[in-house]
Structure 1
């Protein structure tokens, strides 16, 4: 991974205004990232989505969650999906830094609550996923990697889901970089 770059809020806002809005109904999968272990990242051209497991080879199930009573994986956090225009700005345009965010999918699609309310189903490649109620927030690792201003920026408007969203797999399938991600319900 390349050097750290932390933008201040004014630069983030200006760059986001220049980036423009993502499409609302049909977007594109720009990057797929598998997390085989804590802090390990593998950028994939093709990934398999599995019901109950998320992205095949990702450590979602094995890692578990401190947010559940029994420490098992959070059932609504199989997938983390972030808008690619947001991560593009926060990474200073350096795609090699995108995986540091910890999401499995970076998509050019409006992921706001208004556009994708909880329960919305999306076709991503040949799989179907559903937007979960669990919020996806910027954490201490995100602040360390992208800066405190970036963490505040992604967390200040939950309705816009600047940090992204959580989703679950409802129909297994294959996803490739460049595939469409489309609202189906």
Structure 2
């Protein structure tokens, strides 16, 4: 079983996360969840407003839904900073355990990506939503209780260390290695 980092070890990694690019980042990994507790890493993937991250179980129903029972578009795509997950999980083969779809080398902080900000990734355009993404029991089981305290701390929430949610506004294909550009929504 991998060793979980202590709060001190996690805090030592903050300068690296803070050094993430603010305007032109990179898509480092794509992960879909075909079913509960299943993960599949992809080199490329289609994104669409109707299907979300194609192959991910979001389109089959998720924890947040609209009154008609359909999955809520504001939680279509879960994104996490690749430097944060590298610190928390270590080896890249453990990144998918976080359950996020896109791992990006980009500053996800509230001050850099407020809700409404749009990101161009490959052919797709995403818009940051206001839904909070927090560490939970599963995150603690996979990465340790200090990791949850770290991402849910006031600084962790401001930096969005656990990640952010986005909705897809323009469909298209995204590929690992794609440049991510920020534009105001």
Fold conserved between structures, TM > 0.5: yes
Report which stretch shifted further, 16-25 or 119-128.
16-25
Q: CA RMSD in A?
A: 1.6
The 2-side partners of 1:159 and 1:183 are apart by: 18
- 1:133-169: per-residue Cα shift (whole Å, max 9, x none)? 1011111101110000001100113221111100000
SS at match of 1:130: strand
Residue of structure 1 equivalent to 2:30? 32
- Aligned partner of 2:78 in structure 1 is 80
Are the counterparts in 2 of residues 29 and 181 from structure 1 also a CA contact under 8 Å? yes
My pick for the range that moved more, 155-164 or 171-180, is 155-164
- Give 5+ residue unaligned stretches, structure 2: none
- Post-superposition shift, 1:64? 2.3
Give the match for residue 162 of structure 1: 161
Say whether residues 1:62 and 2:60 are aligned partners. yes
Alpha-carbon distance in 2 for matches of 1:99, 1:5: 17
Deviation sequence 1:7-66 (CA, Å, 0-9, x none): 110001113335651000000000000110001000000010011331011100213226
SS at match of 2:55: coil
The answer (yes or no) to whether the contact 2:124–2:172 under 8 Å persists in 1 is yes
Matches within 5 A, 1:131-170: 131-157=128-154, 158-170=157-169
Is the contact between residue 125 and residue 180 of structure 1 (CA under 8 Å) also seen in structure 2? yes
Give the alignment's TM-score, normalised by structure 1. Answer: 0.92
Is 2:117 the counterpart of 1:120? yes
Structure 2 length-normalised TM: 0.92
How many correspondences in the alignment? 182
